[in-house]
Chains A and B, each alone.
Chain A
């Protein structure tokens, strides 16, 4: 069965797994928002950019902060400005429309062609925030009581929502989304990702760096595990610093690029220390303390 629908296949500067591509295409076909979760640095935000590039559509980004209200995404009615204007009488304040400013969601609805809307880090906002958007995302329309207008999306935008799981999202909201969890890429996929960013990297350097990177990630007590973006930065630093591949695993130069917390540096050093100690001293040493 062939169907005429937009198909996302990944783009040249972003490696997408089969699973994720499937989810994106399901979301596009069903016209539902796609909710993306995953560890920091797994490219959640980049995904929207990549879809926009691949499908050649405009991207609207709505960055959510802790103070963001759902209403702001739709429109803002600047009442204070209107009040001021009414006192100085240099505007026609009867025309309320000029005080209604569309938010990012509103803009996406008003656009004449299909756009990609990224609602970034939705979990940053208040707990009730997603619930306030249920109707709007379901029906892709909203009502402005001040002007008695209903804004309807001319074409349903492709909505991508990212979350860092700082807050649980309400069930009613989840029911309306397609969900995908981006798991951390394994070594092979990671290699492909790195090739996109550093196309001509010395093979031995890459090998050594990757080994060190996954070694660091596997230290049990690390609080902030180094992520993909940090690995890419680190490789850049290694190349610029002209570090020879043989030294990477021993010295771990520019460690600060990978580990950002004092505690993590400590636990790494501690781990290395105890390893060498264990090797050097037999078990009976315990009794001599």
Chain B
């Protein structure tokens, strides 16, 4: 029963296993779907989907599986097309969000329930329900099968409409995500050691056995220091004007890093487009409040993990020339690229995170400088996956060596 649906789900990227499928069959045997489509939807979702990140895929699979009974061909492709597109630009997402916040959710649910009841009695398997669904935005419960897709509008539009209704879309992990996800990724950045000066509070079993034996059997407990994270992190963030579109994303990363209290030390500095003689303490990048880059290089030992966040796109002179700094009242005696190389040479473990999607690096405005910087630092895009890859590089010496042409002195 419904075996196709199993494969639908897997094709849509919901990792369903046989165990869960058998649970579903058992539940259906017990009549837990309450003989209604809504019941079936909730039952399937509770049993088969194990993270809110997959709710959206589940909705899509459910829609296309049940929708296919009556719907015209080619629709799943449409959805796929939509899925395969680049991340939608910010404006569209905002608008969509606004759009579906205006819906009166409770009423929708009531209407949906009514319609379903009607369908079960009179139009079982008929077209009416699907047709009606077409014009009614029953997206709320993630329950937008068929209807919306074959509504009165052109098909292209309805595909977008489906998308707009997808309540759980924001949980998709392949999109750039919020603070928590960054935090999750950052947790992987750890290195345990017992060499730090903290109180001894773990029972040292071997030591205790040793001591007790030396005492001729009288118990003596020996305590040891627990292992703690010794990871030290230096976060350098571009606060230049071109970063404005990504400020929210960078903010999220910043919050996540700040919240991660498992680092032994965390230093955050800002720079304007490229790093020169000064690293600023706040995002206004004014010379009121700064530390010399030179000083950082001298005072931070090389086991600091350096994460640089910046779009890396600037005019080539800013990166390559003496005096190329963008602030008109400042002068740099060393070109930015030399500063970057010095940082790279000093900090063995360093990565560059770029909020611009990697697909654009080759042909957008700053492609020359992005390319140049990517030869110095291993560069990845600022997404959860990109951060995870970068963190792996920060953890192991062998990984970090790859793809950089700067010799270590």
**What residues of chain A have their CB less than 8 Å away from a CB belonging to chain B?**
1, 3, 18-19, 22-23, 25-27, 29-30, 32, 35, 37, 80, 83-84, 87, 165-168, 171, 174-181, 183, 186, 188-189, 220-221, 223
Q: Tell me if B20 is interfacial: C-beta within 8 Å of chain A.
A: yes
Instruction: Tell which of A84, A175, A220 has the most Cβ of chain B within 10 Å.
Output: A175
**Known contacts being A19-B42, A188-B106, is A37 close to B27, with CB within 8 Å?**
no
Q: Mark B9-23, 1 if CB is under 8 A from A, else 0.
A: 000000101011001
Q: Distance in Å from the Cβ of A5 to the closest Cβ of chain B?
A: 8
Set A35, A166, A176, A177: member contacting B183, Cβ < 8 A: A166
Contact A174 B51 (CB under 8 A): yes
Measured in the bound complex, the distance between the Cα atoms of B17 and A83 in whole Å is 48
Task: Enumerate chain B residues within 8 angstroms of A80, measured Cβ to Cβ.
Answer: 219, 221
Measured in the bound complex, the distance between the Cα atoms of B248 and A106 in whole Å is 46
Q: Tell me if B124 is interfacial: C-beta within 8 Å of chain A.
A: no
Contact B19 A175 (CB under 8 A): yes
Beta-carbon nearest neighbor of A168 in chain B: B184
Beta-carbon nearest neighbor of B217 in chain A: A87
Measured in the bound complex, the distance between the Cα atoms of B17 and A174 in whole Å is 11
Q: Distance in Å from the Cβ of A181 to the closest Cβ of chain B?
A: 4
Set B15, B17, B167: member contacting A183, Cβ < 8 A: B167
Q: Distance in Å from the Cβ of B102 to the closest Cβ of chain A?
A: 11
Contact A30 B43 (CB under 8 A): no
4 A-B pairs with least C-beta separation: A174-B50, A1-B31, A181-B52, A23-B46
Q: Tell me if B26 is interfacial: C-beta within 8 Å of chain A.
A: yes
Contact A175 B105 (CB under 8 A): no
Q: Majority SS of interface residues in chain B?
A: helix
Task: Enumerate chain B residues within 8 angstroms of A223, measured Cβ to Cβ.
Answer: 179, 251, 255
Contact A165 B180 (CB under 8 A): yes
Residues of chain B at interface, number, CB under 8 A: 38
Q: Tell me if B141 is interfacial: C-beta within 8 Å of chain A.
A: yes
Contact A166 B180 (CB under 8 A): yes
Cβ < 8 Å to A, chain B residues 353-375: none
**Known contacts being A3-B30, A22-B39, is A178 close to B248, with CB within 8 Å?**
no
Measured in the bound complex, the distance between the Cα atoms of B32 and A223 in whole Å is 40
Q: Distance in Å from the Cβ of B260 to the closest Cβ of chain A?
A: 11
Contact B32 A181 (CB under 8 A): no
Add 19 more A-B contacts to A26-B43, A174-B51 (CB < 8 A). Answer: A3-B31, A22-B42, A22-B46, A23-B42, A23-B46, A26-B32, A29-B30, A37-B51, A165-B180, A165-B184, A166-B187, A168-B184, A175-B50, A176-B19, A181-B52, A181-B168, A186-B106, A221-B248, A221-B251
Q: Distance in Å from the Cβ of A263 to the closest Cβ of chain B?
A: 8
Q: Distance in Å from the Cβ of B203 to the closest Cβ of chain A?
A: 8
Contact B251 A87 (CB under 8 A): no
Contact B184 A19 (CB under 8 A): no
**Known contacts being A23-B42, A166-B184, A223-B179, is A178 close to B219, with CB within 8 Å?**
no
Task: Enumerate chain B residues within 8 angstroms of A18, measured Cβ to Cβ.
Answer: 109
Q: List 9 A-B contacts (CB under 8 A).
A: A22-B42, A23-B42, A26-B27, A26-B42, A29-B32, A30-B26, A165-B180, A166-B184, A186-B105
